[in-house]
């Protein structure tokens, strides 16, 4: 593997998360790409609806290519690395790659070790 290919693959990895309704009664496992460039977590709308999660607001977002869209959002429970947190999640289109975004990671007090391709506990900041 050449160094350019190696560097491109080092920072990209997936983790298994559990997503649940806001009351934490029903959860479903999802394989999600860790994406600190995404503001919040993105999941297929059908997964969220199956769990009884309904949109409660719309938010303005921008794709990497610059396209701006308004998307449905809701609060849900998310378990990552054994830590449960309440997080905003986006109702993505069917077939979307689930993304674990920065807002959810920060809420779970988890950081990213891109070289070892793992999540690590971090201290919250009060500075």
Local confidence band at 5 (pLDDT 50, 70, 90 cut-offs)? very low
44 within some domain: yes
10 within some domain: no
5 within some domain: no
66 within some domain: yes
Phi, psi of 98 (to 5 degrees): -60, 135
Which structural domain range is residue 66 located in? 16-120
The per-residue pLDDT for 99 is 97
As beta bridge partners, residue 72 has 58
pTM, rounded to two decimals: 0.88
Q: Is the pLDDT of residue 66 over 50?
A: yes
127 within some domain: no
CATH number at residue 85: 2.40.70.10
Domain count, the chain: 1
Which tokens sit at 122?
């971090």
Mean of the pLDDT values across residues 15-44?
96
Phi, psi of 3 (to 5 degrees): -65, -30
């Amino acid at each position: 593997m050449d160094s350019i290919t190696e560097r491109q693959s080092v920072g990209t990895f997936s983790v298994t998360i559990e997503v649940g309704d806001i009351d934490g009664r029903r959860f479903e496992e999802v394989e999600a790409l860790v994406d600190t460039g995404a503001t919040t977590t993105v999941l297929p709308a059908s997964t969220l609806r199956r769990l009884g999660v309904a949109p409660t607001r719309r938010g303005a977002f921008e794709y990497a290519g610059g396209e701006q869209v308004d998307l449905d959002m809701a609060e849900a429970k998310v378990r990552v690395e054994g830590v449960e947190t309440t997080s905003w999640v986006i109702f993505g289109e069917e077939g979307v790659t689930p993304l674990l975004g920065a807002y959810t990671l920060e809420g779970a007090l988890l950081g990213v070790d891109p070289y070892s391709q793992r999540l690590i506990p971090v201290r919250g900041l009060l500075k």
